[in-house]
Amino acid sequence: MSDITRLYPQLYALSERLLAAGQLAETDLDRAIDCLDHPELRSVACIGIPSRFNLWETPAFSNVSYARHLQIIEYLSRADASAMMLLPGASLSTRAILTLGNEQQQARFFACFEERPTWTFFAVTEPDVGSDAGAITSELTHGEHGWRLNGTKTLIGGAMQASAGLVFARYRHSQRLVMVFPDQTRPTLLRESLGTVGLAGAGLTRLVFKDHCVEKEDILGHERRELLQGLNALSLVFERHRPMVAAMALGTTFGLLTALDVRPLPNAARRWVARQWRKYHAVYRQMLTVAEGYSNGQHQHALTSQLKRNATRLVEDTACHLPHWLNSNDWLQDRLLRKRYRDSFAFEYMEGTSNVHLLNSFRPPVSQRVSP
């Protein structure tokens, strides 16, 4: 297995910075964000944004392949996946804009990155709807006053500080993705920060749209055929993001197992840790296989779901054993370890729960039931 730090030795220093930011984020979010303000971290966070829109690209992190990107995410998550999620930069919505937006829409969306990397959000989940994205009730309408957006979205990552975002809304008998540019002065979009137990860096937010004005140019693929809209379009976007969730879960597993490695443990625990490492390496290899498939243009819904499920199960299983294998003082005194423990259980709920993947991964994209 390749060691990504041989290619990018600067990742050592960047992971130290993430570790510091993650600890600050527990009490002081603004200082944590300041701590993340570093040229190479900015460049890493903006991987995936095309160079023509990306002023933050550094030579070391330009033209990064998908496999390398996943390896970088995995490596940095060994330090603190939550702090990595706090970074402003590329997100699900930037991938969606690149997949579905025209050149003008892409330019308008990425304009918010001109002064500095910013946060963007991708809003699908609604209260009482959850995984069933086909049942969303947020609605885009057209009347004598123009286009309007109404509805409530919940559990939306990074939306409190975001300068731009995409909202998945019902339009007549199908769905559309709508670009939204939050503006504190407009009361038609209310944002409320949600408390979380794990992965606080995700910055989960509730959004309420009340007759929010939308420009026609901000509706993605408005003129396109139905097939390229709605759930099918969402599937395309999520497919490439799920391996990133797996990479974060894997990196967090690495952090947990390393913490066990350096402590005195009973023999049974040592054998168990060795088994978990073997599973970690197997899932890591699966991640690289998935990355290679995408680089060769393959569609691999089932394999991607399997990877995500394997990685999230591994991190949860490892975390569940932690309080039992460690002596109680060790466990109670290590705040970082307890934070990693809390983070471990949030990955399964990102990009579709395991149940939903088990039900849907073999279905063709058109009829697929997807989840953010």
Ligand X SMILES: Cc1cc2nc3c(=O)[nH]c(=O)nc-3n(C[C@H](O)[C@H](O)[C@H](O)COP(=O)(O)OP(=O)(O)OC[C@H]3O[C@@H](n4cnc5c(N)ncnc54)[C@H](O)[C@@H]3O)c2cc1C
Q: Which residues bind ligand X (CB under 6 A)?
A: 121-125, 130-131, 155-157, 199, 202, 204, 346, 349-350, 353, 355-356, 359, 371-372
Residue nearer to ligand X on the CB measure, 132 or 330? 132
Using the CB atoms, write b or e for 133-163: b if 16+ within 10 Å.
Answer: beebebebbeeeeebbbbbbbbbbbbbbbbb
Residue nearer to ligand X on the CB measure, 97 or 346? 346
Q: In whole angstroms, how close is the CB of 159 to ligand X at the nearest point?
A: 8
Q: In the structure encoding, which two tokens stand for residue 136, read together?
A: 């969303």
Q: In whole angstroms, how close is the CB of 312 to ligand X at the nearest point?
A: 11
- Among residues 342, 345, 348, 314, the alpha carbon closest in space to that of 131 is found at 348
Q: Which amino acid is at 43?
A: S
Residue nearer to ligand X on the CB measure, 2 or 355? 355
316, HSE (Cβ side, Cα atoms, 13 Å): 13
78 close to 337: Cβ distance less than 8 angstroms: no
**Can you tell me the distance from the alpha carbon of 293 to that of 311, in angstroms, rounded to the nearest whole number?**
18
Residue nearer to ligand X on the CB measure, 82 or 286? 82
CA angle 140, 143, 148 (to 5 degrees): 35
Residue nearer to ligand X on the CB measure, 57 or 212? 212
235 close to 298: Cβ distance less than 8 angstroms: no
Q: In whole angstroms, how close is the CB of 285 to ligand X at the nearest point?
A: 26
Residue nearer to ligand X on the CB measure, 165 or 273? 165
93, HSE (Cβ side, Cα atoms, 13 Å): 31
- Among residues 177, 224, 227, the alpha carbon closest in space to that of 368 is found at 227
How many other CB atoms sit within 10 Å of the CB of residue 280?
Answer: 20
Q: In whole angstroms, how close is the CB of 9 to ligand X at the nearest point?
A: 30
How many other CB atoms sit within 10 Å of the CB of residue 29?
Answer: 18
Q: In whole angstroms, how close is the CB of 348 to ligand X at the nearest point?
A: 8
Q: In whole angstroms, how close is the CB of 8 to ligand X at the nearest point?
A: 26
Q: 193 forms bridges with which residues in the sheet?
A: 205
C-alpha distance from residue 156 to each of 109, 165, 208, 350 (Å): 18, 10, 11, 10
181 close to 168: Cβ distance less than 8 angstroms: no
**Can you tell me the distance from the alpha carbon of 364 to that of 226, in angstroms, rounded to the nearest whole number?**
16
Q: In whole angstroms, how close is the CB of 166 to ligand X at the nearest point?
A: 10
Residue nearer to ligand X on the CB measure, 100 or 273? 100
* Residue closest to ligand X (Cβ): 130
122 close to 165: Cβ distance less than 8 angstroms: yes
Residues comprising the chain, all counted: 372
Q: In the structure encoding, which two tokens stand for residue 120, read together?
A: 């963007």
Residue nearer to ligand X on the CB measure, 51 or 355? 355
Q: In whole angstroms, how close is the CB of 60 to ligand X at the nearest point?
A: 28
C-alpha distance from residue 179 to each of 149, 173, 208, 285, 334 (Å): 11, 20, 15, 37, 43
Q: In whole angstroms, how close is the CB of 191 to ligand X at the nearest point?
A: 13
Residue nearer to ligand X on the CB measure, 91 or 106? 91
Residue nearer to ligand X on the CB measure, 131 or 344? 131
How many other CB atoms sit within 10 Å of the CB of residue 34?
Answer: 11
Q: In whole angstroms, how close is the CB of 62 to ligand X at the nearest point?
A: 26
